[in-house]
Amino acid sequence: MSAGDWTNIESDPGVFTSLVEELGVTGIQFEELFDLSQLEELSPVYGLVFLFKYEGSQQPQSVDYTNTNVFFARQVIQNSCATQAILSILLNNPEISIGPILSEFKLFCNDFDADTKGWAISNSDQIRLVHNSFAKPDPFLIEATGEGGEDAFHFISYVPIDGVLWELDGLQSGPINHGAFVDGDWFSKGEIWMIRSVIEARIALYAASEIRFNLMAVIKNREQLYTELLALAQDENQKKELLMLLSAAHEKREHWKKENQRRKHNFIGFTFQLLQEMAKSGLLQPAIEK
């Protein structure tokens, strides 16, 4: 694989939410999870994105191609795994409004094999440009291979499709079937054990040497959800609670917007100019010595 024109992006719910919205997706957002018990509070949940340190090789797992409804793409290029993991959820859930860009993309490559689907993602200018727009400006072009002591991380998805929990990992040869849900609700109290056991088993593979993991849920847009519930609310106390939740959801969106503006702004020229002026005025060396 070659990194090509794809760059690394930060694992952040604000980044991922804005990324999919720029691709035309509506009605969803990403939420960082610290405990799987949060899932019941976040319903509806459309999928999970899991980030872990990539060790350079993965144990091949038993894959299942029997369900043709599963959209699975191999990862054929480096640095695209975040967006590919996100697409694995978006393109496998008919409840999500994915918009014209991704609808046309899915229609175009739905019958391709997994490798060709991967190349279709990698060669999509629209998807690549949106992905790259969230990369931090860097004065040096560095290919993120994980070599030379630099850690590399990988994203995978967990998605419910036709009552079954699927793991979609672009570095595997196909989708991985983790079994059917008993009552069909993949985040009910009776089913969270399945999600927990699968993710804990994945973490256990690296537990002795690694503690850096990140788990995000794809959920319904909170502003939209609370607005809908508020329109139906009859009780005044419930209305007040929903208004507070709606305000908090709005503030979170505004915070994400500001953070993404900072991420996208190129401070490199300003920084170089500042250092030059400090050097001219004799302030740079004292600052370094401090």
> Please, which pLDDT band fits residue 279 given cuts at 50, 70 and 90?
confident
* 147 pLDDT more than 80: no
What pLDDT shows up at residue 60?
58
Report the share of the chain in percent with pLDDT over 70: 80
More confident residue, 215 or 265: 215
Q: In the predicted model, what is the mean pLDDT of the chain?
A: 84
Residue 178 catalytic? no
* 239 pLDDT more than 50: yes
What pLDDT shows up at residue 157?
96
> Please, which pLDDT band fits residue 183 given cuts at 50, 70 and 90?
low
Q: How far apart are CA 71 and CA 69, in angstroms?
A: 6
Q: Which of 81, 131, 178, 250 is catalytic?
A: 81
What pLDDT shows up at residue 182?
74
Q: Which of 131, 154, 250, 255 is catalytic?
A: 154
What pLDDT shows up at residue 89?
97
pLDDT (mean) for 43-56: 84
| Contacts for 235 with CB less than 8 Å, ≥ 6 apart | none
Residue 154 catalytic? yes
* 33 pLDDT more than 80: yes
Range of lowest pLDDT (89-98, 118-127, 204-213) = 204-213
Rounded to two decimals, the pTM is: 0.83
More confident residue, 275 or 1: 275
